[in-house]
Structure 1
Amino acid sequence: MKNIETVLVTGGTGFVGAHTIVQLLQKGYKVKTTIRSLKRKKDVFEMLKNRGITSFDNLEFIEADLTKDENWDKAVKNCEYVLHMASPFPSGEPKDENELIIPAKQGTLRVLNAAQKANVKRVVMTSSFAAIGYSIEPKHHIFTEEDWTDTNAEIGAYIKSKTLAEKAAWNFIETEGNTLELTVINPVGIFGPVLGKDFASSVNLIEKMMSGKMPAIPKVSFGVVDVRDVADIHIKAMTNPLAKGQRFLATSDGTTSLPEIAKLLHVQPKEYAKKVSTKVLPNWLVKILANFKPELKAVATQVGRVKILSNTKAKNILDWKPRNQKEVILDTAESLIKFGIIK
């Protein structure tokens, strides 16, 4: 299948970026992708090969960094569409929130600016559920694309950076976008098959549980979505005329919790399931421990809170059909075993 249109994917070394490149190449698009260093080209080739890609004739690499102006004009040149997926994700809470906020916001504006000058038709930006659901009381509330996280509320730097970057994007389109169209995807926790040793921080949760690094589990609930479905929703949103100017919450049906995931992981062969703890940490203990363990701070604010999420809009407008949670989690676990990440 031949397709003459060219799509730029920012962040080709990323978990979502690599899966998206796979699907675009399979659909016959020409793909350009930005990576911070061309030395990482071989890593991308490796990941794509692991998903069955054998020809790289339609793939071009551009060295570009979200914190620098160089090469963005070259990256967007002759592209009909831009899928802006690259974004800094911290391993922990930074000392200064601006370490995250400034690159997220400025990087987004760099990409939009370059796209607008190059007459790109549409940018599909990867935002996050972080920009939707972290300041509204979840009791009796169904979260949809209409909701926004209040940046004045007490929220972590990452959540704030995603919200401010998305708001900056919509503001740019309104004030100086001209004919450039914008669509935003807001995924929840992204899981699914890894393509190698590089994967999303959400997948780290499964890795920690399976390798016995989590002796007891906090009672935290969240939405999950498969990386393959996140790639799919971006491509659907890229070409669907009705997606112009819209945000889409990307989540499987329902929510799950870490204790439920632990139970699911026990479906694995015994040698892989044996290290998965099913001991649940009491909520009060998580809150006390958060005073001594900074990595538990964000978790402590969410224990015992169940959020109801709606994916109706994505299903109705884009005819998007996400995988169920069981398949998502078990495929994640299987891939971690396959690549020797879980011994």
Structure 2
Amino acid sequence: MILVTGSTGLLGSHVVVELLRKGYEVRAMFRDEERKQVVYRLIDFYYPEEKEVFLQKLTWFRGDILDLADVEDSLVGVSKVVHCAALVSFHRRDFNLLFRVNRRGTANLVNFALNSDVNQFIHVSSTAAIGSDSQATDGMKRESNLWNPNDEVSGYSLSKFSAEKEVWRASEEGLRVSIVNPSVMFGPGSWEESSLKIFRTLHKGLKYYTEGANAFVDVRDVTTLILKLIETEKTGERYLVTGSNLKFKELFDRICEQLHVKAPSKLAGPFLTGLAWRLSGILGRIQGKRPTITKESARSSQSSSQFSNEKLLRDFPDFKFTPIEETIAVTIKGRTDL
């Protein structure tokens, strides 16, 4: 039995479906009953003719990783854990909640896993947890980079870095662990959630772009690596999973081309994005809503980060990343919030 936390998220749902396709018995941890539909819709999208067979090997477990009793019960009879559950937020007010969910939730899981029959624990982290200090001079971020406490990073980054520390601590105590660090993920799912919101925004019309850059990856590629780690039982390693390093402008152009809409054409520099998050904050307070643009997200839009996937390709030479054009196409085809 394999436990998947965060089973109704973009990555978690893909992991659940692909594990079922491989014939594994899966226990999917969830919190909201309605969110089960994410998994059902994904099965219908990829493997509609095999749905009934898949569901025979799927067990739902309603629980919260912050509830110790839930965590303990979820691990009964489990041999492997894929920990996808996490909170992603760039709002300052969520700083404490980020640490509760991402660090304490992870600590709860590894602590109980240490005292169970779990023989493999795969933790899904993020490129946000990759440090900036490196001896390399090519500007690429790698798994070997060290964390610089003087860097100005988001609360989300700090929480994911701290969660990794809990996983490595458990490793020192005897738990067999692996960590995967995906970049921004795209794939079939709701455009109202997570990183897929950019497709919704571009589809509605976006005039401005920024000079920033980041790495982007197909959610199916991240899922493939997780399954490879399970099948090979490879542990003790950390892998960046990054398909394409692209400037935001280039990414937007490619998405808009397939959406058949006009691409952003006006450059928003640091002054304009700084003004935008301040105005968004004021408007949010007036309306009693969360601002759509935060200081951290505005800063991120202007920063350029490049990540290396050389370690993954070295250890798994048969691994093939999906071209970004194909990823964009399947993300559009698999939209579920229409």
User: Shorter chain as normaliser: what TM range?
Assistant: 0.7 to 0.9
8 A Cα contact 1:210 1:276, kept in partner: no
8 A Cα contact 1:83 1:125, kept in partner: yes
**CA–CA distance in structure 1, aligned partners of residues 222 and 240 of structure 2:** 10
Determine if the alignment matches structure 1 residue 237 to structure 2 residue 235.
Answer: no
Question: Aligned residue for 1:141?
Answer: 139
**TM-score of the two chains, using structure 1 as the length reference:** 0.85
**TM-score of the two chains, using structure 2 as the length reference:** 0.86
For residues 93 and 266 of structure 1, do their structure 2 counterparts lie closer, same or farther at Cα, with a shift above 3 Å needed? Answer: closer
For residues 255 and 141 of structure 1, do their structure 2 counterparts lie closer, same or farther at Cα, with a shift above 3 Å needed? Answer: same
Question: Aligned residue for 1:287?
Answer: 274
Question: Aligned residue for 1:251?
Answer: 242
For residues 166 and 46 of structure 1, do their structure 2 counterparts lie closer, same or farther at Cα, with a shift above 3 Å needed? Answer: same
Q: Secondary structure at the match of 1:111?
A: helix
**CA–CA distance in structure 1, aligned partners of residues 260 and 115 of structure 2:** 53
For residues 58 and 88 of structure 1, do their structure 2 counterparts lie closer, same or farther at Cα, with a shift above 3 Å needed? Answer: same
Question: Aligned residue for 1:3?
Answer: none
Q: How does 1:81-100 map to 2 (within 5 A)?
A: 81-90=80-89, 92-95=90-93, 97-100=95-98
**CA–CA distance in structure 1, aligned partners of residues 328 and 56 of structure 2:** 33
**CA–CA distance in structure 1, aligned partners of residues 193 and 132 of structure 2:** 20
**CA–CA distance in structure 2, aligned partners of residues 309 and 334 of structure 1:** 28
- In structure 1, the gaps of 5 or more residues are 1-5
For each residue in 1:169-190, what CA deviation from the matched residue of structure 2 results, as whole angstroms up to 9, or x when unmatched?
112221x3x3x20000001101
For residues 97 and 42 of structure 1, do their structure 2 counterparts lie closer, same or farther at Cα, with a shift above 3 Å needed? Answer: closer
For residues 220 and 299 of structure 1, do their structure 2 counterparts lie closer, same or farther at Cα, with a shift above 3 Å needed? Answer: farther
Determine if the alignment matches structure 1 residue 27 to structure 2 residue 22.
Answer: yes
Q: How does 1:171-182 map to 2 (within 5 A)?
A: 171-174=169-172, 176=173, 178=174, 180-182=175-177
For each residue in 1:278-323, what CA deviation from the matched residue of structure 2 results, as whole angstroms up to 9, or x when unmatched?
3322344223434433524224434554333211111121342211
Q: CA deviation at 1:36?
A: 1.2
Determine if the alignment matches structure 1 residue 206 to structure 2 residue 193.
Answer: no
8 A Cα contact 2:13 2:38, kept in partner: no
8 A Cα contact 1:216 1:280, kept in partner: yes
For residues 222 and 247 of structure 1, do their structure 2 counterparts lie closer, same or farther at Cα, with a shift above 3 Å needed? Answer: same
8 A Cα contact 1:131 1:148, kept in partner: no
Question: Aligned residue for 2:184?
Answer: 189
**CA–CA distance in structure 1, aligned partners of residues 158 and 139 of structure 2:** 21
For each residue in 1:108-164, what CA deviation from the matched residue of structure 2 results, as whole angstroms up to 9, or x when unmatched?
011112222222111000000000046779974221111244355321111111111
Higher deviation after alignment, 35-44 or 224-233: 35-44
Determine if the alignment matches structure 1 residue 297 to structure 2 residue 301.
Answer: no
8 A Cα contact 1:190 1:200, kept in partner: no
Q: Secondary structure at the match of 1:18?
A: helix
Work out which of the residue numbers 33, 36, 39 in structure 2 matches 1:41. 36
Extract structure 1 runs of 4+ deviating beyond 4 A. Answer: 133-139
Question: Aligned residue for 1:331?
Answer: 330
8 A Cα contact 1:121 1:181, kept in partner: yes
Q: Secondary structure at the match of 2:304?
A: coil
Work out which of the residue numbers 265, 272, 284 in structure 2 matches 1:278. 265
**CA–CA distance in structure 2, aligned partners of residues 310 and 119 of structure 1:** 34
- In structure 2, the gaps of 5 or more residues are 282-292
Question: Aligned residue for 2:287?
Answer: none
Q: How does 1:164-175 map to 2 (within 5 A)?
A: 164-174=162-172
Q: Secondary structure at the match of 2:69?
A: coil
Code of the aligned partner of 1:98? N
Question: Aligned residue for 1:54?
Answer: 51
Q: Secondary structure at the match of 1:322?
A: coil
Question: Aligned residue for 1:117?
Answer: 115
**Greater percentage in helix:** 2
Equivalent pairs counted in the alignment come to 322
Code of the aligned partner of 1:158? Y
Q: Secondary structure at the match of 1:163?
A: helix
Percent of pairs identical after alignment?
26
Work out which of the residue numbers 206, 226, 230 in structure 1 matches 2:218. 226
8 A Cα contact 1:14 1:199, kept in partner: no
In angstroms, what is the RMSD of aligned CA positions? Answer: 2.5
Higher deviation after alignment, 198-207 or 229-238: 198-207
Question: Aligned residue for 1:264?
Answer: 254
**CA–CA distance in structure 1, aligned partners of residues 162 and 221 of structure 2:** 25
Q: Secondary structure at the match of 1:287?
A: helix
